[in-house]
Amino acid sequence: MSIKTFLLPDLGEGLTEAELVRWMVAAGDTVAVDQPIAEVETAKSLVEIPCPFEGVVSTLHGDAGQMMLVDEPFISVNTGGEEAEAPVADEAERAQSYREEERAGTQVPAEAAAEADEGSGNVLIGYGTSSAQSKTSRRRKPRGGVAAAAAQAPAEAVRVINPLVRKLARDNALDISTVQGSGPEGLILRTDVEAALSAEAGQPAAAAAPAATAPAPAAAVPATPTRAGEADSKTGLPVASTQLLSGVRKTIANAMSTSRREIPEATVWVDVDVTKLLKLRSKIKEAEGQAPSVMALISRFAVAGLQRFPELNSRIEVEADGGLRHTLFEGVNLGFAAQTDRGLVVPNVRDAHKMNAKELSAEFARLASVAREGKAGVADLSGSTFTINNYGVFKVDGSAAIINYPEAAILGLGRIIEKPWVVNGKIKVRSICEMTLSFDHRVCDGGTAAGFMRYVADAMTDPKTALASL
């Protein structure tokens, strides 16, 4: 009997974890190579995991709803034969061997380095990493040259139960090496980090005491969340439900917080008469049987506007030394907000500047469909350089949308409604749409944002003239 264990593969875009949504097989089932065995939810999308082995399912290393780590055991399959697989190392050792950050600056054993050179083999089709990439990502040179490397080599790695615990410490600016582990042989558990954070928050002056004489922090017990049906300690009201954010909802929350925290945004808006645009679309539909969506037509104007005002099709990144780097792009990857059962996602049309309105309309429809079905890939949901949000579908007139970090701007479209409008000195009933632009004030001043808005608004008001020049 030969048992082979498949580790959760690299899911791309630096993702290190995924929530197990459901198993598509059970222990004892026969599986074939590339047969879908499970569905997991990453911070980007739902992904089906194919099996790399043929045989009989031996062990499922997780339950529905559980967070699974990349490079951790996922499924074991009995492939037949006589050679038995070597036992998997304990969890703490795996946590140190699978990822560079878990090695904590120590040297990699020769046999592990040789294995890394050949690639892990745990690569999801379509998102894979080559062995060359593995060398780059898993072997970072220590700063400070040869002397620093020599000093690092004998250092003993901090024993941490898994990467999530180390991430918790890093996100809270806690030096993991100062935490006293309560697990076997000093293994640092999540409760140890939470206890250290609690002690640090409750005793701000403790850091001033000499490290050698400071008493070890007391083992604090993390607060137990109030369960559904119980009274909330702060409000006294019964709790309807409570859960930790995960998957897409967690990603949305983090992205919105980061955008608000890092981007000094400003908003401009304008009411646009789109009567002629709607008439033009109706004529195209009558003549050809179908027509681009209104959003596709407006997007075509927006893409053209970005070529005239490229500052809005850019991003600002903070350098290691605190400096700011401003990057402008040749071409546009156009993101658009799509509401799904799993929350708001932003699929993006790659190379949108190369497409006409009909092509944009078709791509919007395709991407929206796969996003709502939960089948959008990582590449479909990342890499946009400018985003359009059509909140008019929710029957609202306007909104100061939050910029899709790390982009520099987001264009919002409100609903189209009939209003009295002055045309050539006379009041007429016209179709009006409120358009807003939230932009990063670091990349440009208000004049640039206003120029872009005026260009797009004028094109929407007189679409025939605009399309003739595109």
**In CATH, what number does 249-468 get?**
3.30.559.10
pLDDT class of 67 with cuts at 50, 70, 90: confident
* Each residue's pLDDT tens digit, 244-268: 777 667 777 888 889 999 999 999 9
What's the pLDDT score for residue 81? 58
Q: Which residue has the higher pLDDT, 467 or 182?
A: 467
Per the DSSP assignment, residues forming a β-bridge with 410 are 387, 438
What's the pLDDT score for residue 158? 61
* Each residue's pLDDT tens digit, 10-28: 776 567 788 888 999 999 9
Percent share of the chain, pLDDT over 70: 74
Contact 11, 42 (CB under 8 A): yes
Q: Tell me which range, 58-62, 96-100, 111-115, 234-238, is most confidently predicted by mean pLDDT.
A: 58-62
Report the C-alpha gap between 39 and 74 in whole angstroms: 12
Region 419-441 average pLDDT: 97
CATH 4.10.320.10 residue window(s) in the chain: 158-205
6-45 burial, b at 16+ Cβ within 10 Å, e below that, comes to bbbbbbbeebbbbbbbebebeeeeebeeebebbbbbbbbb
Percent share of the chain, pLDDT over 90: 45
Q: Which residue has the higher pLDDT, 241 or 334?
A: 334
* Each residue's pLDDT tens digit, 288-300: 999 999 999 999 9
Which CATH architecture best describes the domain 3-138?
Answer: Beta Barrel (2.40)
Q: Which residue has the higher pLDDT, 152 or 360?
A: 360
Q: Which residue has the higher pLDDT, 62 or 342?
A: 62
What's the pLDDT score for residue 98? 36
Region 327-350 average pLDDT: 90
CATH 2.40.50.100 residue window(s) in the chain: 3-138
Q: Which of 61, 326, 353, 441 is flagged as catalytic?
A: 441
Contact 356, 328 (CB under 8 A): no
What's the pLDDT score for residue 157? 53
pLDDT class of 311 with cuts at 50, 70, 90: very high
Report the C-alpha gap between 93 and 25 in whole angstroms: 29
CATH 3.30.559.10 residue window(s) in the chain: 249-468
Residue 383 has pLDDT above 50, yes or no: yes
Q: Which residue has the higher pLDDT, 304 or 134?
A: 304
Contact 338, 387 (CB under 8 A): no
Region 437-456 average pLDDT: 97
* Each residue's pLDDT tens digit, 153-170: 444 456 665 556 776 777
Q: Name the fold adopted by 158-205.
A: Dihydrolipoamide Transferase (4.10.320)
What's the pLDDT score for residue 88? 45
What's the pLDDT score for residue 288? 95
Nearest to 338 by CA among 291, 260, 391, 383: 391
- Does the pTM surpass 0.75? The reply is no
Per the DSSP assignment, residues forming a β-bridge with 39 are 22, 48
Region 409-423 average pLDDT: 97
What's the pLDDT score for residue 111? 43
Residue 191 has pLDDT above 70, yes or no: yes
Question: Quick check: is 326 catalytic?
Answer: no
* Each residue's pLDDT tens digit, 96-133: 333 333 333 334 444 434 443 433 333 333 333 333 34
